[in-house]
Chains A and B, each alone.
Chain A
Amino acid sequence: MITEAKSIVKAELNSEKIGESIVVKNLYKSFGNNHVLKNFTMHLKTGENLVVLGKSGSGKSVLIKCIIGLIKPDAGSINVLGKSIPDLNNNELDEIRVKIGFLFQSNALYDSMTVRENLEFPLRRHKINLTKKEVEDLVMEALTNVGLAHTVDMRPSELSGGMRKRIALARTLILKPDIILYDEPTTGLDPITAKEISNLMRELAKKYKTSSIIISHDMNCVKAVSDRIIMLIDGVCYSDGTYEQLKQSNDEKIKTFFE
């Protein structure tokens, strides 16, 4: 009887593991004496939009940079789509990165390239067998998705902040990743453009069935896109719940964000 119960629990745990795109356990990261992440643990379920909420400098961006392998953690495990990120070599990291899109806070569009070349760049690296026509079709599809097909031959410097964000989103989605990491996607945008970007994120996540981690402290964006929210306070996962659950919390630290 006990053995049967144990096996049921084990089966449940396995099925839960299958449904998790990212699992972070006991993560530590310090910069000198600044201990940014202290025993941080979280998971991202497949198909979920998870918002990581926290003050500026609380380590949110460090967390997603650790997840994509841009920063090496001091200790702890990061498992993305079944692969342990800190243990991968550069080639293995490149392989897993094809399945992860990253939208940078500053958009990180290549200034020396046109919008077309910006979008072609990841395709030419990873889909080397594509014909010129197929590359063109994928570029135009990505631009049409964000409503900016007419900007294809423009340079990033000729575009507004909102347009640059949309182009960066199109570039992030062009390889059709399984997971997207958004680093403050609406920061520096006016409320209308921020709302448009939030809606676009939601639509594209549904269309491409992606899982997302969204770093933000724009509460309108958080409300619009989140399925679940975790709060990163003092280097640990302080709280975990839906927008409505956290909004009703009486904890002072949580209330400050929702006021």
Chain B
Amino acid sequence: MKSKTLQIFLSETGDIGRFTYRFFVEAFKPRYEFSELLRQCFYIGYKSLPLVAITAFIMGLVITIQSRPTLVEFGAEGWLPKMVSVSLVREIAPVITALICAGKIGSGIGAELGSMKVTEQIDAMEVSGTNPFKYLIATRVMATTLMIPILGILADAVSLYGGYLGTNIHGVVSWNLYWNQVFDTLTFGDVVPSILKTFFFGFAIGIIGCYKGYNSNKGTEGVGRSANSAVVISSLLVFILDLLAVQITDLMRLT
């Protein structure tokens, strides 16, 4: 029983590897589907913006409010903007953005491609002389890889603004003082690795959503399963990639 599970796991990992390889082969070969890429960037980036912004704002506010009592206890209340900015920019904003996108975009791609597969729309595309992998997969994976870092930067900014409001609920910190402290604290080693890892988060969310949708079967039940497993696997991958990113940053002494 265990060996069968392991076999399924290894076989699926191999299939995802082949799917990723095919993405690299197809994505950089002409003909390029620019209009579809732009359309996907609009749906993936612009349409996810409000959700990411609201979540990031709440996270910034909540982290600040919850960190305050501990710092007050040690007489280090003045360190609140510094501490909050590092934790938000390095970890919370990129990971929360990726998880929100894994839920919203990963499931959307999985369900959309899955339903296209079971209703023969992907076959129809192929018989009309369009490479469905290039048109549907390459564009979506590129769009998630490009848009999630932009959403992550936006989430950084909005969560820091939430942190500013959180700081001012019980204390008084001027707008200038707050942002001076934030920018004095943040270094190259905080900002760049955190942005870089969001590219990998975006790629993982796109490739898993597309893989699950494109290989969907068993009718409408399969569509639901594709969407569900796209979210589960891409969320798990976000945490694994985050762990790897932290280790690499630590090894490079950027922490």
Q: Which residues of A contact B (CB under 8 A)?
A: 65, 68, 70, 90, 94-95, 97-98, 100, 102, 104-106, 108-112, 121-122, 125-126
Q: Which 7 A-B pairs have the closest CB atoms?
A: A108-B124, A94-B129, A108-B120, A122-B128, A102-B127, A104-B120, A108-B121
A90 to B127, CA, bound (A): 11
What residues of B have a CB within 8 angstroms of the CB of A94 in the complex? Answer: 129
Tell me which of A98, A104, A125, A126 contacts B124 (CB under 8 A): A104
B-side contacts of A65, CB under 8 Å: 123
Query: Which residue from A70, A95, A100, A122 sits with its C-beta under 8 Å from B123?
Result: A70
On whether the beta carbons of B121 and A97 are closer than 8 Å, the reply is no
B59 to chain A, nearest CB (A): 32
CB proximity to A under 8 Å, residues B114-132: 115-116, 119-121, 123-131
CB distance from B157 to the nearest CB of A (A): 32
Please indicate the chain A residues that have their CB under 8 angstroms from the CB of B129 in the complex. Answer: 94-95, 97-98, 122, 125-126
Q: Is the CB of A111 within 8 A of B121?
A: yes
Interchain CB contact (< 8 A) of A106 among B120, B126, B131 = B120
Which residues from chain B sit less than 8 Å from chain A, CB to CB? 112, 115-116, 119-121, 123-131
Q: Would you call the interface of chain B mostly helix, strand, loop, or mixed?
A: helix
Neighbouring B residues of A100 by C-beta, 8 Å: 127
Q: Is the Cβ of A125 less than 8 Å from the Cβ of B128?
A: yes
**6 pairs, CB–CB < 8 Å, chain A vs chain B:** A90-B131, A102-B124, A108-B121, A108-B124, A110-B121, A126-B129
Which residues of A lie under 8 Å from residue B128 when comparing CB positions?
A: 97, 121-122, 125-126
Additional 5 contacts, C-beta under 8 A, given A102-B127, A104-B124: A70-B127, A108-B124, A111-B119, A122-B129, A126-B128
Shortest Cβ distance from residue B2 to the other chain A in the assembled complex, whole angstroms: 25
Residues on the A chain within 8 Å of B112, using CB = 112
**CA gap between A112 and B116 in the complex, in Å:** 10
CA distance A126 to B125 in the complex (A): 12
> How many inter-chain residue pairs (CB < 8 Å) link A and B?
46
Among B119, B120, B128, max chain A CB count under 10 A is at: B128
User: What is the bound-complex CA distance between A111 and B223, given in angstroms?
Assistant: 15
Please report the C-alpha to C-alpha distance between residue A121 and residue B121 in the assembled complex, in whole angstroms: 12
Verify B120–A105 contact, CB threshold 8 A.
Answer: yes
Chain A residues, Cβ within 8 Å of B131: 90
Select A97's contact among B115, B119, B120, B127, beta carbons within 8 Å: B127
Contacts of A68 in B (CB 8 A): 127
Closest residue of chain B to A98, judged by CB? B129
Complex contacts, B115 vs chain A, CB 8 Å: 111
Contacts of A108 in B (CB 8 A): 119-121, 123-124
A169 to B5, CA, bound (A): 45
CA distance A100 to B123 in the complex (A): 14
Q: What is the CA–CA distance of A106 and B130 in the complex, to the nearest angstrom?
A: 19
Bound-state CA distance A95–B126 (Å) is 12
Which A residues are CB-close (under 8 A) to B120? 104-106, 108
> Is the beta-carbon distance between A70 and B126 smaller than 8 angstroms?
yes
Q: Kindly state the separation between the CA atoms of A112 and B129 in the bound complex, as whole angstroms.
A: 19
Docked Cα-Cα span, A125 to B36, in Å, equals 13
Q: How far is the CB of A166 from chain B (nearest CB, A)?
A: 16
Of all chain A residues, which has the CB nearest B130? Answer: A125
Task: Provide the residues of chain B in CB contact with A112, threshold 8 Å.
Answer: 112
Closest CB in chain B relative to A90 CB, distance in Å: 7
A135 to B116, CA, bound (A): 25
Residue among B119, B127, B131 with the highest chain A CB neighbour number at 10 A: B127
- Return B149 CB to nearest CB of chain A, in Å: 25
A104 to B125, CA, bound (A): 11
- Which residues of B have CB within 8 Å of A122? 128-129
Cβ contacts under 8 Å, B119 to chain A: 106, 108, 111
Residue numbers in A under 8 Å from B124 (CB-CB):
102, 104, 108-110
Residues of A within 8 A of B116 (CB): 110-111
Tell me the complex Cα distance, A108–B115, Å.
Answer: 10
Contacts of A104 in B (CB 8 A): 120, 123-124
List chain B residues, Cβ under 8 A from A97: 127-129
Bound CA span A127–B141, Å: 28
Q: Which residue of A lies closest to B128 (CB)?
A: A122
Which chain B positions have C-beta within 8 A of A90?
Answer: 131
Please give the distance in Å from A169's CB to the nearest CB on chain B.
Answer: 13
Q: In the complex the two chains form, what is the Cα distance from A100 to B124 in whole Å?
A: 12
Which residues of chain A are near B127, meaning CB under 8 Å? 68, 70, 97, 100, 102
Kindly provide the distance from the CB of A236 to the nearest chain B CB, expressed in whole angstroms. Answer: 26
